[in-house]
């Protein structure tokens, strides 16, 4: 269950419980006044309670406002989480060449890319497909009019090979002049986003599936890649085209 869906379901529950509690105290106070003879002309003690219908309307407005606010906050958080899951390593002299983020399937929920399936078109991007070894890379390059607003590149690796008993690993290397950045890891990321608006170097992105038994070893990612039979490499030239005079 997604957080937004949980909030929507909880709203009427909170409303109902609040009204029930109020009605309990309202009836209790009315009965107390009747028992004291306050209705017969004696001076009432304390302030009168809000009529039930007024209380219900006020409660509905308050719960609706809080629910709407929570939905907006959770939606913004989901979008931020979509483009910020994962991490990157610094490049030469601490400069960030490419901000690489790993995105998992659950991150797609409640995001602008909810419902995406491998190979689908993504609005605002142009898709190119490249097959290398056993891996098919679906590469999405942002349209010029969305440059700076969306990640410059989205990569979705896929394979039809039998990956049972294996774990996924990836190695990315970005180079621009003398600067270099490495980013590697494992797990089950579904897609990778790359923020690199000013980067004009080369990216080598390798995806591989290694035997699960290697998870209990001290082998590094390069060694695991070398021992993998299911693998593929994507090479990207990120240089912008030279404007025609």
Residue 34's domain spans which residues? 3-82
- Cβ distance 33 to 39 under 8 Å? yes
Q: Please state the domain count of the chain.
A: 2
The pLDDT of 201-214, averaged and rounded, is 94
- The predicted model scores a pTM of 0.60
DSSP state of 87: -
pLDDT class of 90 with cuts at 50, 70, 90: very low
Q: What pLDDT was estimated at residue 127?
A: 95
Does residue 134 fall inside a structural domain? yes
The H-or-E segment that residue 204 falls in is: strand 202-211
- Per DSSP, the three-state class of 53 is helix
The whole-angstrom separation of Cα 46 and Cα 32 is: 12
* Residues near 14 by beta carbon (within 8 Å), at least 6 away in sequence: 63
Give yes or no: residues 201 and 169 share one domain. Answer: yes
Which residue has better confidence, 28 or 195? Answer: 195
pLDDT digits (tens, 9 = 90+) for 126-175: 999 999 999 999 999 999 888 888 889 999 999 999 999 999 999 999 99
Query: How many residues make up the chain in this entry?
Result: 245
Question: In whole angstroms, what separates CA 209 from the centre of its chain?
Answer: 24
Give yes or no: residues 48 and 101 share one domain. Answer: no
The whole-angstrom separation of Cα 82 and Cα 76 is: 10
Give yes or no: residues 112 and 48 share one domain. Answer: no
- Cβ distance 93 to 179 under 8 Å? yes
Give yes or no: residues 32 and 112 share one domain. Answer: no
- Per DSSP, the three-state class of 144 is helix
pLDDT digits (tens, 9 = 90+) for 209-220: 999 999 888 999
- Enter the tokens of residue 147: 């440059």
The pLDDT of 31-47, averaged and rounded, is 61
Question: In whole angstroms, what separates CA 235 from the centre of its chain?
Answer: 26
Q: What pLDDT was estimated at residue 75?
A: 66
Please state, as a whole number, how many other Cβ atoms lie within 10 Å of the Cβ of residue 224: 21
The whole-angstrom separation of Cα 124 and Cα 140 is: 9
Give yes or no: residues 78 and 108 share one domain. Answer: no
Does residue 152 fall inside a structural domain? yes
Give yes or no: residues 111 and 225 share one domain. Answer: yes
Q: What pLDDT was estimated at residue 190?
A: 92
Give yes or no: residues 181 and 230 share one domain. Answer: yes
Pseudo-torsion of CA 172, 176, 180, 186, nearest 10°? -10
């Amino acid at each position: 269950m997604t957080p937004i869906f949980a909030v929507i379901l909880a709203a009427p529950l909170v409303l109902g419980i609040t009204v029930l509690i109020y009605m309990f105290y309202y009836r209790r106070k009315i009965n107390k006044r009747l028992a004291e003879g306050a209705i017969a002309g004696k001076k009432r003690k304390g302030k009168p309670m809000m009529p039930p219908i007024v209380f219900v309307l006020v409660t509905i407005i308050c719960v609706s406002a809080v629910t709407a606010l929570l939905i907006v906050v959770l939606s913004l958080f989901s979008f931020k989480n979509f483009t910020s899951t994962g991490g990157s390593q610094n490049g030469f002299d601490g400069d960030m060449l490419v901000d690489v983020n790993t995105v998992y399937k659950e991150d797609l929920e409640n995001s602008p890319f909810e419902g995406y399936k491998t190979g689908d078109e993504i609005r605002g991007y142009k898709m190119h497909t490249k097959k290398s070894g056993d891996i098919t890379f679906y590469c999405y390059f942002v349209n010029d009019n969305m440059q700076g607003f969306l990640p410059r590149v989205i990569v979705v690796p896929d394979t039809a090979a039998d990956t049972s008993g294996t774990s996924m690993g990836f190695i990315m290397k970005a180079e621009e002049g003398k600067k270099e950045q490495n980013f590697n890891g494992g797990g089950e990321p579904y897609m990778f986003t790359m923020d690199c608006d000013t980067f004009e170097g080369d990216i080598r992105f390798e995806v591989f599936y290694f035997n699960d038994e290697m998870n209990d070893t001290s082998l590094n990612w390069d060694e695991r890649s070398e021992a993998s039979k299911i693998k593929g490499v994507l090479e990207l030239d990120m240089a912008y085209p030279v404007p025609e005079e």
